[in-house]
Structure 1
Amino acid sequence: MKELISKLKGDKGIWSFVALLALFSFMPVFSASSNLAYMNHGTGNTISFLFTHLAHIFMGFIIIYAVHKVPYHYFRGISKFALPIVWILLAFTLIKGTVIAGANASRWIKVPFIGITFQTSTFAFVVLMVFVARYLSKKNDVPMTFKSSLWELWAPVFVTLMLILPANFSTTALIFAMVVMLAFVGKYPLKYIGFVIGTGVVFLMFFILVAKSFPDSRFFSRVGTWTNRIENFTTDKPDEDIYQIEQAKIAIASGGVYGLGPGKSVQKNLLPQSSSDFIFAIIVEEYGLIGGLLVLGLYLLLFFRFIVAAHKTNSLFGKLLVVGLGFPMIFQALINMAVAVELLPVTGQTLPLISSGGSSIWMTCVSLGIIIGVTKKDEEIAEELKNKERRADALQKLIDKQLEEEDAFNEDYALANDYSIEDKAANPMNAVLNK
Structure 2
Amino acid sequence: MMHFARNDTSILGNWWWTVDRWLLGAVVLLGALGLLLTTTASPPVAERINVDSFHFVKKQAFMLAPALFTIIGVSLLNLKQIRRLALVVFVGALVLMVAAILFGTEIKGATRWISLGGLTIQPSEFAKPAFAVLAGWILAARRMGEDVPGYAISAALCVLVVGLLALQPDIGQAFVVCSIWFTQLFIAGLSMSFVIFAVLGGLAALVAAYYIFPHVATRIDRFLDPQAHDSYQIDKAMEAFQSGGIMGRGPGEGIVKQSLPDGHADFIFAVAGEEFGLFACMFIVAIFVFVVVRGLSRLLQDNDMFVVLAATGLIVQFALQALVNMASTLSLIPTKGMTLPFISYGGSSLLALALGMGMLLALTRRRPEIASWRD
2:27 is aligned with 1:15? no
For residues 255-404 of structure 1, the aligned pairs below 5 Å read: 255-376=244-365, 378-381=366-369
Q: Is the 8 A contact 1:313 1:374 kept in 2?
A: no
Give the fraction of aligned pairs with identical amino acids, expressed as a percent: 24
Q: Report the Cα offset of residue 238 of structure 1.
A: 5.0
- Amino acid aligned to 2:225: T
Q: Is the 8 A contact 2:73 2:358 kept in 1?
A: yes
- Amino acid aligned to 1:245: I
Q: Cα gap change, 1:358/1:230 in structure 2, threshold over 3 Å: closer, same or farther?
A: same
Partner Cα separation in structure 1 for residue 286 and residue 88 of structure 2: 38
Structure 1: any 5+ residue segments left out of the alignment?
A: 212-222, 385-435
Q: Is the 8 A contact 1:79 1:128 kept in 2?
A: yes
SS of corresponding position for 1:108: strand
Q: Is the 8 A contact 2:133 2:311 kept in 1?
A: no
- Amino acid aligned to 1:75: I
Q: Report the Cα offset of residue 380 of structure 1.
A: 4.4
Partner Cα separation in structure 2 for residue 207 and residue 297 of structure 1: 33
2:249 is aligned with 1:248? no
SS of corresponding position for 2:300: helix
Tell me the number of residue pairs that the alignment of Structure 1 and Structure 2 aligns. 361
Q: Is the 8 A contact 1:123 1:363 kept in 2?
A: yes
- Amino acid aligned to 1:287: F
Q: Report the Cα offset of residue 77 of structure 1.
A: 4.3
Q: Is the 8 A contact 1:251 1:285 kept in 2?
A: yes
Partner Cα separation in structure 2 for residue 164 and residue 89 of structure 1: 12
2:118 is aligned with 1:115? yes
Quote the residue 2:138 is aligned against: 135
2:226 is aligned with 1:236? yes
Partner Cα separation in structure 2 for residue 3 and residue 141 of structure 1: 39
Q: Report the Cα offset of residue 348 of structure 1.
A: 0.8
Q: Report the Cα offset of residue 84 of structure 1.
A: 4.2
**Which structure's CA Rg is the greater one?**
1
2:7 is aligned with 1:31? no
RMSD: 2.5
Q: Deviations over 1:166-197 (max 9, x none)?
A: 32111111211221112111223333344345
SS of corresponding position for 1:73: helix
Q: Is the 8 A contact 2:98 2:164 kept in 1?
A: yes
Select which of 49, 52, 77 maps to 2:56.
49
Q: Is the 8 A contact 2:42 2:264 kept in 1?
A: yes
Q: Which moved more, 1:164-173 or 1:186-195?
A: 186-195
SS of corresponding position for 1:359: helix
- Amino acid aligned to 2:26: F
2:11 is aligned with 1:2? no
Q: Report the Cα offset of residue 99 of structure 1.
A: 4.4
SS of corresponding position for 1:265: coil
Q: Is the 8 A contact 1:283 1:292 kept in 2?
A: yes
Partner Cα separation in structure 2 for residue 134 and residue 84 of structure 1: 15
Q: Deviations over 1:188-243 (max 9, x none)?
A: 3333344345445556655665x4xxxxxxxxxxx111101000100024545x10
Q: Is the 8 A contact 2:132 2:310 kept in 1?
A: yes
- Amino acid aligned to 2:136: A
| TM-score, normalised relative to structure 1 | 0.77
Quote the residue 1:87 is aligned against: 94
Structure 2: any 5+ residue segments left out of the alignment?
A: 5-11
2:229 is aligned with 1:227? no
Q: Cα gap change, 1:189/1:76 in structure 2, threshold over 3 Å: closer, same or farther?
A: farther
Partner Cα separation in structure 1 for residue 110 and residue 188 of structure 2: 34
Q: Report the Cα offset of residue 104 of structure 1.
A: 4.7
Q: Is the 8 A contact 2:247 2:277 kept in 1?
A: yes
SS of corresponding position for 1:117: strand
2:80 is aligned with 1:73? yes
Q: Is the 8 A contact 2:42 2:56 kept in 1?
A: yes
